[in-house]
Amino acid sequence: MRLLQPTVPLLAVLSLVVACAVEPGEDNLKTSFVEQIEGVGSVDGLEREGDAIRFIERRADGDDVSWRVTIDFASIARPGGAPVQGAISASWYADGQLIEPIGTISRLPNAFLEAGIAQECYALWDENAAAWDW
């Protein structure tokens, strides 16, 4: 029986795959947050420039709301033995008016809350999917 030995190109490819594995970080946390917003069915025309996000929300009553969201900060925590945790704090403006939470009540439309996003929101890193879970 003949055993196959790994060749240099195969080892190089495997090393490259391992080196390119997605790791949790603030940049992909922010990108995932934006993707969560974009995934809301009533969101249209989303544009992102750095930490500033703009889009239109098309409401069921026919009204359009112009939203501006600013990511104020993003942080990553790596507690020992637990999944990596991400946190986003963002300011949300509807038609130019700051939407401030009252205590723990965000005052954002339910469509955003159901997507796991608000002014203060949290995500866990899913190692298997190499993605944030909101």
Question: What are the residue boundaries of the structural domains of the chain, listed by start?
Answer: 24-133
Instruction: Indicate the pTM of the whole model.
Output: 0.82
pLDDT, tens digit (0-9, with 9 covering 90-100), for 16-25: 444 467 999 9
The mean per-residue pLDDT over the stretch 103-110 comes to: 93
- For residue 10, what pLDDT is reported? 46
Name the burial class of residue 56, with classes exposed (0-12), middle (13-18) and buried (19+) by CB atoms within 10 angstroms of its CB. middle
pLDDT, tens digit (0-9, with 9 covering 90-100), for 56-91: 999 989 999 999 999 999 999 999 989 999 999 999
The mean per-residue pLDDT over the stretch 10-18 comes to: 45
Nearest alpha carbon to residue 29 among 89, 113, 93, 98: 89
Per-residue 3-state assignment (H helix, E strand, C coil) for 5-58: CCCHHHHHHHHHHHHCCCCCCHHHHHHHHHHHHHCCCCEEEEEEECCEEEEEEE
- For residue 23, what pLDDT is reported? 95
- For residue 12, what pLDDT is reported? 46
